[in-house]
């Protein structure tokens, strides 16, 4: 049950949803790039990214001095469905 709670908490912020939409489906960006695109400080963006990674939505990789984030390529099924839902809603509202 705790895992499910963490999964839903991961999406419980419009900023985290913005991050998921930004990285979907296969974009890889640094904390600085993400912060600049969503209009948040590096510190706030890092906190959101840590929560998303802990919840299983994202994966990160160290490249030189930077952590590069992307959508988790092998997420639990429920996370995959939630990310698809966010992407689907985004497409509907863009039309």
List the domain boundaries for the chain. Answer: 2-94
Low-confidence ranges of the chain (pLDDT < 50): 93-95
Structure tokens at 64: 């030189």
At residue 61, what are phi and psi to the nearest 5 degrees?
A: -145, 135
* pLDDT attached to residue 66: 93
Q: How many CA atoms within 13 Å lie on the side-chain side of 88? A: 6
What pLDDT is attached to residue 90? 63
User: Can you give the pLDDT at residue 36?
Assistant: 97
Token duo for residue 45: 């963006």
**pTM, entire model:** 0.82
Which pLDDT score, from 0 to 100, does residue 95 have? 45
CATH class of 2-94: mainly alpha
């Amino acid at each position: 049950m705790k895992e499910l709670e963490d999964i839903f908490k991961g999406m419980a912020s419009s900023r985290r949803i913005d991050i998921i939409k930004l990285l979907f489906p296969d974009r890889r960006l640094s904390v600085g790039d993400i912060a600049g695109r969503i209009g948040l400080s590096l510190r706030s963006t890092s906190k959101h990214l840590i929560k998303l990674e802990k919840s299983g939505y994202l994966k990160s990789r160290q490249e030189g001095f930077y952590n590069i984030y992307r959508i988790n390529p092998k997420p639990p099924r429920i996370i995959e469905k939630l990310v698809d839902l966010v992407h689907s809603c985004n497409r509907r509202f863009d039309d």
